[in-house]
Amino acid sequence: MRTITGLLAATALTSASAAFATDLEVTHWWTSGGEAAAVAEFAKAFSEGTDHTWIDGAIAGSGGTARPIIVSRILGGDPMGATQLNHGRQAEELIEAGLMMDLTEIAEAEGWKDVVNPPSLLDACTLDGKIYCAPINIHSWQWMWLSHKAFADAGVDVPQNWDEFVAAAPALQEAGKIPLAVGGQAWQSNGAFGVMSVAIAGVDAWTDVFVNKNEETVMGPEYTKVFEAAALARELSKDSKVQDWNQATNLVITGQAGAQIMGDWAQGEFAVAEQVAGEDYTCLPGLGVNAVIDTGGDAFYFPVNEDPEITAAQKELASILMSKEAQVAFNLKKGSLPVRGDVDLSAANDCMKKGLQILVDGGTIPSGDMALSRDILDELEDLLTEFWSDHSYAPEDAQKAYAEIISRAE
């Protein structure tokens, strides 16, 4: 709860902007139906709660497309007012170069450390004791989404774990269904591999690889099973023939595909399609094997700007993004969990409630984005893209290449 002193301090930080109406450009890569509905809640809260105007700078594609554009603009002296990035080390070099606004004063005035849960999300915004971003949600990759229609058409029960899904795959194929929907973008196959790693190798093995950077574990029997499962998933997804992640989600929504391994942002697409969790689709955290979530997600950074009016508007937006009202409105539509641990989520659907319970139970792991540098993550993504697209690429060869990359991680 904010103290009176904190409220007065926060008011002092933003009152200087009250006399000015400022257009603030906000860049992000939320362009699917569910994502657009969610980000519109932030835009509404900012435009209605201040004298300023949110200028939407959506960048079509994905984070892999948007991040280089965002970074290039900041480095090139054409900064936006605010920008989405993921939790982790993506902005580290920009912060070190003095190009990102220090939000410590706002964070302390509003007691962010008291409400952000888990604390690692705010830690990911912190460098040398100063806070440089506003974490806005908890997104987890650790989900599998299954179409009730697809399995009903195939005459089999909806699987409750990865092994049951593999067993049901032949029936799906016989019914003309795609067993596993995976889009053609590299980050999708890479993310699916990460989920299989946690579920099949186990949390301890995954932690030893990503946190401890132990290449010997990659070459161990736990990860051998992961690469064998990935080779099978590669075969089961070969007929997806779509590019974007939300197109793959739509294959599940329409019953053309049995399942998709995708982060909880997929919930936004099910919501837009007016599908009901537990009735039209099933969600399995950790592939129904290890019920954990990784605490990654999105954060907003505010590039340094020499215009004091824009700076004041940036501070107001940072405060609004972390408010209870905006946190609830955004995350209910995004399918993610709020970073505030003190908000009312009684309107959450069954899948979101599963995630909340896992969070309460402490079943969390760090996001890979927080554990490895961007260069190493890019190398792993390139490797897994090649593996996923080249069906002659043997899993044991990919395993060796993966271990070699991990051996160079810092």
The pLDDT tens digits of the residues spanning 200-219 come to 999 999 999 999 999 999 99
- pTM listed for this prediction: 0.81
3 state DSSP class of 281: strand
Say how many C-beta atoms besides its own lie within 10 A of residue 160's C-beta: 13
Asked whether the predicted pLDDT for residue 87 surpasses 90, the reply is: no
**Span 35-54, average pLDDT:** 95
**Which tokens hold the place of 53?**
């105007």
Residue 88, pLDDT score = 62
Q: What is the pLDDT of residue 349?
A: 86
Alpha carbons 236 and 257: distance in angstroms, whole number: 10
What is the per-residue pLDDT for 146? 98
In degrees rounded to 5, what are phi and psi of residue 45? -60, -40
Q: What is the DSSP letter of 89?
A: S
What three-state secondary structure class fits 377? Answer: helix
| pLDDT level of residue 356 (50, 70, 90 thresholds) | confident
Peptide bond into 118 cis (omega under 30): yes
pLDDT > 80? residue 189: yes
User: What is the pLDDT, as a whole number, of residue 369?
Assistant: 74
- pLDDT, mean of residues 108-130: 93
Rounded to an integer, what distance in angstroms lies between the CA atom of residue 155 and that of residue 171?
Answer: 8
**Mean per-residue pLDDT for 223-234?**
98
| pLDDT at 8 > cutoff 60 | no
Residues 369, 90 contacting (CB under 8 angstroms): yes
Here the tokens at position 1 are: 């709860």
